[in-house]
Amino acid sequence: MTDTKPNPTEIVRGEIQPWTDYESYRKPAGGPVLRAFLDDLLPESASRTLVAGPHGADVVELVAGRSAHVTVLVRSVSDAATLRERFAGAEVTVLAGALDGLVDHGTEPFDVVLAADGLDRLLGADSPALDWPERAALLRRLATPEALVVVGVENEFGLTGLLDSRPLDERHGDDEWRPLHDDPHRPTSPAQVAEALTGLGLAVHASYASFDPAGLPHTLLRDAAAAGTRPGRPAARLATAGLSAAAAHAPLLTSVADGAAAAARAGQLSAVAPGWLVVCGTGGGTTRTGYAAYGGGVLAADLTDATWQTRFQPADGTTTSGVVFDPALVAAQVPDTESAETLLFRLAAAEDVPGFRRLAARFGAWAEDGRILALDDVQVDGDGFASGFSGWRPADPAGRDELLAAAWHRFRDRLVHAHRRHPWPPWMVDGDDLVSTWLGMSGVEADAAVLKRGREIADALAAAADVAAEQPDVRTLLADAEENRKKVTELAGHIFGLERTLRFRDKSLKTREQQLRAIRDELRKLKYSRSMQLVLAIRKVAGLRKPKRLAKAVKRRIPRRDL
């Protein structure tokens, strides 16, 4: 008979009740990206594994399948009870308490220690005010000398934090019982993290820049790949998507895309990531260069000899608002080069219309059928092009001309949204004239139906593939306000001209009204004058056709005595 009794729950010093770390703003570490990363990293079989801090049930389930026994440490009693019920019958022991309480409890060291949520949410109300190195030292004491240790580190120098428009007292919740964002000993760069962990006797095996929205990793990218990439390349594109996902939860001073491009140009993209995920020790599996949420699944890619080798999970397609993500369309190899969009932006900023035209013609000659052509996901490959990570296609069949129209519509949207410099007049940008011009450069004479279908595909792709839109940033609002001021000034000048014209017309109408009144007065005087009376009498006499009858009538009216 199967034993379905709940797993034993122990209380160690530092437990909090009532409390929860699973329903705060920052979610527990988990999600498909972290799960795919751990699936590659964790050994197939470990004897004892510690999961320190709040982690999602999907992560605990994966760890439980790779270890003979798993211990989960959370500081909340209610969270521990929930996990105990979730993993009833499995070799999972749930502890409620603080990290220092577990160390004092005298437990045996673990072969695998997972603290992907970081060290922020590991202390309770009774814990001493330990700084980051002291917490890391406690974690090290719980691991065997050759243990595999995974530690998450939040970066206070992250780009999303630097651009956060909120004051300091509104940026952090109350889930940090002993807040570490004011800790002067907390490492704030990949080099400082490696130095701090190495000083504790942990050999850093790999370090990943973690781009996560509210605790759930969206993109994991090796530090070396993040530092070595440049704007428009695949790694920079994945990192920018991760930053945009993280920025969607906070009001910003400016868009993170511009800051990400500047950081990538300076080779500092890893230094401004929202955090890092550090792997220490040995015994783990081989991990890939990058992991990212993509097309409803997880895209894993390895960078080897300036070429990305890709793998997509899961294998089934995802349909969203008129487009389908087809894993079969994801290129197995993607060159680590600039995207066609980046090069076109550069030509437009330089007002090099002939160069822009030549590149557009090459793109039109290369364009493939079947897949949606996103210029930001098309890599320059010598004199030609190569498909990137994108595997989107229209849900309904679309011709090559319509797919090219969708590509240029998307390019126009991204050009205008980023307020990039270009040589075309505003009246062309507002409508479809500019897209028609670009299509002509690509060798397509587009009609209204092709433009309309391309617009529909571009909108569907933006809704399905693009990261949730960031909140309006201050710089964009200021730029929009300045543009509105220009429009107000232009409209005020137009209104002044109309008012002046109306005043002239009003004066003209008043003059005509005075003239008409004068004419009416003259006519009134003439009507009642003796001359007019004589004229009327003569008109009546002249109108007589039978004078004899008139004479008889007059005679009848004259008294006979007067005759």
Rounded Cα distance, 375 and 406, in Å: 10
Is residue 563 over pLDDT 70?
Answer: no
Angle between helices 353-366 and 433-441 (to 10 degrees): 70
Rounded Cα distance, 562 and 447, in Å: 100
Question: What does the pLDDT look like over 37-92, one tens digit per residue?
Answer: 999 999 998 999 999 999 999 999 999 999 999 999 999 999 999 999 998 877 89
Query: Closest Cα to residue 150, out of 217, 97, 85?
Result: 217
Rounded Cα distance, 326 and 514, in Å: 80
Residue 230: what pLDDT? 94
The dihedrals phi and psi of 149, each to the nearest 5 degrees, come to -120, 130
Question: What does the pLDDT look like over 445-476, one tens digit per residue?
Answer: 888 999 999 999 999 998 887 765 555 667 77
Residue 97: what pLDDT? 93
Q: Domain map of the chain by residue range?
A: 9-314, 335-471
Q: Which two tokens stand for residue 176?
A: 């940090």
The SS3 call for residue 469 is: coil
Cβ within 8 Å of residue 56, ≥6 positions away: 27, 28, 29, 30, 31, 34
Is residue 166 over pLDDT 70?
Answer: yes
**For domain 9-314, is the CATH number 3.10.20.740?**
no
Question: What does the pLDDT look like over 279-304, one tens digit per residue?
Answer: 999 888 899 999 999 888 899 999 99
The SS3 call for residue 457 is: helix
- Other Cβ atoms less than 10 A from the Cβ of 435: the count is 26
- Other Cβ atoms less than 10 A from the Cβ of 482: the count is 10
Query: Closest Cα to residue 7, out of 66, 64, 75, 62?
Result: 64
Q: Are 216 and 35 in contact (CB under 8 A)?
A: no
Q: Are 79 and 88 in contact (CB under 8 A)?
A: no
Residue 232: what residue type? G
Is residue 1 over pLDDT 80?
Answer: no
Q: Are 475 and 253 in contact (CB under 8 A)?
A: yes
Rounded Cα distance, 43 and 46, in Å: 7
Say which range, 213-222, 311-320, 381-390, 510-519, has the weakest mean pLDDT. Answer: 311-320
Q: Helix-strand-coil percent breakdown of the chain, rounded to 5? A: 45, 20, 35
Position 539 confidence tier, pLDDT thresholds 50, 70, 90? confident
- The count of residues in the chain is 563
Q: In what side-by-side order are the strands of the sheet with 318-320?
A: 318-320, 323-325, 392-394
| Mean pLDDT on 386-392 | 88
Question: H/E element holding 91?
Answer: none
Say which range, 83-97, 177-191, 211-225, 546-560, has the weakest mean pLDDT. Answer: 546-560
* Distance, first Cα to last Cα, the chain: 152
Rounded Cα distance, 209 and 528, in Å: 103
Q: What is the DSSP string of 253-274?
A: SS-HHHHHHHHHHTT-TTTTSS
Question: What does the pLDDT look like over 183-220, one tens digit per residue?
Answer: 888 898 999 999 999 999 999 999 999 998 777 889 99
3-state secondary structure string, 534-557?
HHHHHHHHHCCCCHHHHHHHHHHH
Residue 223: what pLDDT? 94
Position 3 confidence tier, pLDDT thresholds 50, 70, 90? very low
Rounded Cα distance, 287 and 319, in Å: 29
Query: Closest Cα to residue 59, out of 35, 85, 91?
Result: 35
Cβ within 8 Å of residue 394, ≥6 positions away: 322, 323, 324, 372, 403, 457, 460
Question: What does the pLDDT look like over 127-148, one tens digit per residue?
Answer: 888 999 999 999 999 999 999 9
Residue 27: what pLDDT? 87
Query: Which regions of 159-233 does DSSP assign to beta strands (E)?
Result: 204-211, 219-222
Q: Pick the most confident of 2-11, 20-29, 298-307, 479-488.
A: 298-307
Q: Which two tokens stand for residue 179?
A: 């807040």
Question: What one-character DSSP code corresponds to residue 560?
Answer: G
The dihedrals phi and psi of 527, each to the nearest 5 degrees, come to -65, -40
Give the CA count within 13 Å in the CB-facing half-sphere of 466.
16
Residue 538: what pLDDT? 77
In whole angstroms, how large is the CA radius of gyration of the chain? 39
Largest CA distance in the chain: 158
Sign for the pseudo-dihedral over CA of 490, 491, 495, 496? negative
Is residue 384 over pLDDT 80?
Answer: yes
3-state secondary structure string, 406-431?
HHHHHHHHHHHHCCCCCCCCHHHHHC
